Structure 1
């Protein structure tokens, strides 16, 4: 496939209210017709309420995954976003990917946000995952993962890096900078999806949802401090031509990652 059309959904998440968030998104996503992939923020159904056991879903995804399957089939697009899922006495921050035919894949967030004590409530994932959507190879990451370039290093095994987040406004400059850096160093498209609004802990988020091409140039950026859907078309042929003309990936260091 030479192009991939994506919709990046920047939304204000109601704290611990799955029903309200899914109802609102059901309306918002009606704008996402004729796209291949729809990306939702980290913990889109509840907010980053990692200490609240009552809002976690079981490993089947319960009502959240049922909703994702319904919307994916209705819009004929892959829908992806992270959900807090019961994992023993803790949770997994699970980045679900749902196909229109009902297929489901996922990636569990690897790097847990120490400053927010995420590790006290969430189990770290161990598997780096590459998914394929209409022939396009995608590396899914969640929020804090963005700070760790080894985990996101392109071993010539992906075309697009996706990061969904609840990234605070106080560190917005870092978010913007790292998204561009990951694109340039990995010679890949990078898509970042963040929320807006204040969460239940009083943490402000001002967005920064954006797509960048393989040299770090913006393809589209959602407006700050408001809900918006940013639609982009990724030209995979242009990526291939660039990598042929500037094959820096062939000089990358060989390494391995330990769990």
Structure 2
């Protein structure tokens, strides 16, 4: 199976420019026979707490990606904001070449440090989806700091996705945590970050494709680029069979200290 990560500079309040960049990468991925391309958090709008602005074109954004998935015969994973009660939901959506929604995930951990929790309703469910027999579980940005949800996901998933707008001043955390999640869960990890600068925030990218042993297969730093890698379901199964870490987990014991 072939996966691509689209590391882009999300132009602030310029949805047309962001769509142009995404389509360029989608076309290139399709030409390289990619099965799924993954873009950063809030792909077309950029990350913001201005929920009314984010909601202005949310349905149009979804339809736009559906149309490109169909046109280029590729699965597309992207981020956008959906309305939920009096707040927004920071969502990840995967659409198929048939214009169908494969999965929709809501960020479980809004980033309270930046007041996201005041504007976005938190998700309550870990999600899974299947492409070519590979089971994926998607997450968003700050979720990466909470290993428990990845342990739950990897009971079923062969790969996890993390889409983000992760600032450069915490880039070492991003890279270390992505590798840790791959190692401790014995699964592929696809971390997709943005690049560029918005107001006082600088983003270094550092998007990565990491194998189940924690080896970085492909990565790119501070520029817009499409990276592509082939992954193998059998590799996950073989590693887990030969060195089954989950057999030694003591979840009932751990739970006693979390109550």
The secondary structure found in structure 1 opposite 2:150 is coil
Which sits farther off after the overlay, 128-137 or 157-166? Answer: 128-137
Give the counterpart of 1:90 among 69, 87, 91: 87
Give the Cα–Cα distance (whole angstroms) in 2 for the partners of residues 69 and 57 of structure 1.
18
CA contact (8 A) 1:187 1:249 kept: no
Q: Which runs of 5+ in 2 are unaligned?
A: none
CA contact (8 A) 1:72 1:99 kept: yes
Give the TM-score taking structure 2 as reference length.
0.92
Q: Which residue of 2 aligns with 1:147?
A: 145
1:238 aligns with 2:247: no
The CA deviation at 1:57 is 4.7
The secondary structure found in structure 2 opposite 1:152 is helix
1:216 aligns with 2:214: yes
Give the TM-score taking structure 1 as reference length.
0.92
Which sits farther off after the overlay, 13-22 or 64-73? Answer: 13-22
The CA deviation at 1:98 is 0.3
Q: Which runs of 5+ in 1 are unaligned?
A: none
Aligned residue pair count: 250
1:41 aligns with 2:40: yes
The CA deviation at 1:39 is 0.1
Give the counterpart of 1:252 among 249, 252, 256: 249
1:69 aligns with 2:66: yes
Give the Cα–Cα distance (whole angstroms) in 2 for the partners of residues 155 and 106 of structure 1.
18
Q: Which residue of 2 aligns with 1:131?
A: 129
The CA deviation at 1:91 is 0.5
> What is the root-mean-square deviation in Å for CA atoms of aligned residues?
1.6
Choose between structure 1 and 2: higher helix proportion.
Answer: 2
The CA deviation at 1:194 is 0.2
The secondary structure found in structure 2 opposite 1:32 is helix
Q: Which residue of 2 aligns with 1:198?
A: 197
Alignment of 1:49-64 (within 5 A): 49-57=48-56, 61-64=58-61
Q: Which residue of 2 aligns with 1:187?
A: 186
Higher relative CO (Cα under 8 Å, sequence separation at least 6) belongs to 1
CA contact (8 A) 2:6 2:40 kept: yes
Give the Cα–Cα distance (whole angstroms) in 2 for the partners of residues 36 and 205 of structure 1.
27
CA contact (8 A) 2:51 2:119 kept: no
The CA deviation at 1:178 is 0.2
Give the Cα–Cα distance (whole angstroms) in 1 for the partners of residues 20 and 175 of structure 2.
30
